Structure 1
Amino acid sequence: MRTIAADRGWVSCGRRRPTAAVRLYCFPYAGGGLAAYQPWAARLPEEIEVWTVCLPGREHRLDEAARTDLHGLVDELRSALAPQLAGPPAPVAFFGHSLGALLAYELARALREHGDREPAALVLSGRADAHHPPRRRMHTLGDDDFIAAVQGLGGAPSAALEHPELRELCLPTLRADITAAETYRYRPGPPLDCALANWAGDADAGVPPDAVADWAQHTTGPTRHRLFPGDHFFPWSTPNILTPLLKDIHPAQ
């Protein structure tokens, strides 16, 4: 499957669909990249064109330093993606998990602030709303404790740290991503007006479902709260996760 990159590799699309009804942009969790969403892109219907955000410090951007300042990273994302988001006419939706939820939300705000095209729908997953400070402070830990903390979360980042060669490669990027997420601070501003769905895992020890539900206060548009069985990486352990995703990126359904 041919990959099409846009503007310095910030996003990639495995298959362009010019007549798509929705363009879905997927934002990664800490340490994540294109690989996390490739299975979704293959399984979603033809009406959805999937673009995956690739941050510096991973995959085809491995030679770039990962960013530790989330607001600065959002500024870069807006500059890179705003021209692409402006057209074609299909509505745009954002999905973000954990770190990706913050990126998706703050990018939507930045687009509005600069008069750019905003997403019609946001799906924010596995992250307490923007007002909540992080419950964990992992980024200040020494390497051994940091690795143990990440492994306690499970998921793909934990699996990568089990292999010494991969650990050396991915540890700086993972630490930078978690630093960006844990040092983020909300800047007050008007709410969005797009549809907003928030997703939580019922066994996610670090992200209480009620704190995830608080994302509803950040839009004047329709909201939906979903609680799934599973830990922090529930979107990748829930067999039928694409069914609610399709409903939430089509807010009229």
Structure 2
Amino acid sequence: MPESSAHLRAWLRRFSPAGDAMSLLVCLPHAGGSASFFFPLARALAPEVDVLAVQYPGRQDRHHEPSIDNLPELADRITDAVRLVDDRPLALFGHSMGALLAYEVALRLAADGLPAPSRLFVSGRRAPSRYRDDRFHLSSDGDVLAHLRRLGGPGSTALDDPEIRAMALPLIRNDYRAVETYRHDPSAVLDCPVTVLTGDRDALVSPEEAHAWAGHTTGPTDVVTLPGGHFYLADQNEQVVALLRRRLAAVTAQQTPRLR
């Protein structure tokens, strides 16, 4: 297998192939998350949208690989894979940590001279310019577990099992380190449309922090608030799917193929 094909297969998962779709949506999961988090979204958007989900190293079928605790390095590796996908109009969707990664991937694609994503969807994450003094990667296991239970994410109850907890906590702590030590480049600005999605009870994203994404692009920005907490999209799947379908349908006809 050519090296480029192997890299693509390592990083991207296609759960519901939609080769005839007019656009691609690359999805990036949250801290501690995996590509399968986006299986329901991929199934719901097919065949209109071809969804590719990023699989970070250290989880599921990549459990044997060392995880990466540096967000810019992780963004570099993901961008290397995204460059290899075909030339249909490309959009990015990231949730929580994945939102920061999607933003950094979009910046790297622009730096390579590739067209901007047709749209950047950032979910459950404050703007890169808005920092909090979070240090969960340095906290005790008990504090990390309490934080995860407050967020109520998928699989959080599984952490009650000691064996699962022993496997999951180092990976979660790794991802938190990547996010909490990340600092954006103030001179780097996108030129694509940005849609910000947030839950109305998400303690990790205030309205001001969500609207601050507008300062990271010269394109239009809209903020959509849905009922729920940090993982609102698990309960609001139909609304999220409908929004993505509308936004992507509106821009697909205006896009030209990406050139490599």
What is the TM-score when the length of structure 2 is the normalising length? 0.89
Deviations 1:71-98 (A, max 9, x none): 11111112232122xx23x211111010
Q: Please, which runs of 5 or more residues in structure 2 have no aligned partner?
A: 253-260
Aligned partner of 2:73 in structure 1 is 72
Deviation track 1:39-58 (CA, whole Å, cap 9, x = no partner) reads: 11111141100100000110
Aligned to 1:26: 27
The size of the alignment, in residue pairs, is 247
Segments of structure 1 that go 5 or more residues without pairing to the other structure are none
Q: Is the 1:5–1:13 Cα contact (8 Å) retained in structure 2?
A: no
Q: 1:47 to 1:5 in 2, by over 3 A?
A: farther
Q: Pick from 126, 144, 147 the counterpart of residue 145 of structure 2.
A: 147
How far apart are 1:117 and its partner, in Å? 4.5
**For the structure 1 residues 6 and 14, does the alpha-carbon distance in structure 2 shift closer, same or farther, using more than 3 Å as the test?**
farther
One-letter amino acid matched to 2:205: V
Q: Is 1:41 aligned to residue 42 of structure 2? A: yes
Q: Do 1:131 and 1:186's aligned partners in 2 also have CA atoms closer than 8 Å?
A: yes
Corresponding residue number in structure 1 for 2:180: 182
Q: Does 1:249 align with 2:240?
A: no
Instruction: Give the whole-Å Cα distance in 2 for the aligned partners of 1:159 and 1:190.
Output: 39
The alignment partner of 1:7 has SS state of helix
Pick the aligned partner of 2:209 from 193, 208, 211.
211
**Alignment correspondent of 1:226:** 224
User: Partner of 2:91 in structure 1?
Assistant: 93
What is the alpha-carbon distance in structure 1 between the residues aligned to residue 100 and residue 219 of structure 2? 18
Preserved CA contact (<8 Å) 1:196 1:221: yes
State the partner residue of 1:52. 53
The aligned amino acid for 1:148 is A
The share of aligned pairs that are identical, in percent, is: 37
Residue type of the alignment partner of 1:60: D
CA shift in 2, pair 1:6/1:19, >3 Å: farther
Name the CA shift for 1:40/1:239 in 2 (closer, same or farther; >3 Å): closer
Partners of 1:234 and 1:153 lie apart in 2 by 10
Preserved contact between residue 118 and residue 251 of structure 2 (Cα < 8 Å) = no
* C-alpha spacing 1:8/1:16, structure 2 compared with 1 (3 Å): closer
Shift in CA distance, 157/207, structure 1 to aligned 2, threshold 3 Å: farther
Distance in 2 (CA, whole Å) between partners of 1:68 and 1:239 is 29
Equivalent pair of 1:101/1:127 in contact (CA under 8 Å): yes
1:9-32 deviation digits (Å, cap 9, x = unpaired): 100112332221110111000111
CA distance in 1 between counterparts of 2:116 and 2:155 reads 30
Residue pair 2:116, 2:191 contacting (<8 A) in 1 also: no
Determine helix, strand or coil for the equivalent of 1:224: strand
Q: How much has 1:8 moved relative to structure 2?
A: 5.0
8 Å contact 1:201–1:209 — kept in the other structure? Answer: no
Which structure is higher in helix share? 2
* Superposed CA offset, 1:191-235 (max 9, x none): 211111001111011211220111112112222110111100001
Are the equivalent residues in 2 in contact too, given 1:9–1:60 (CA < 8 A)?
no
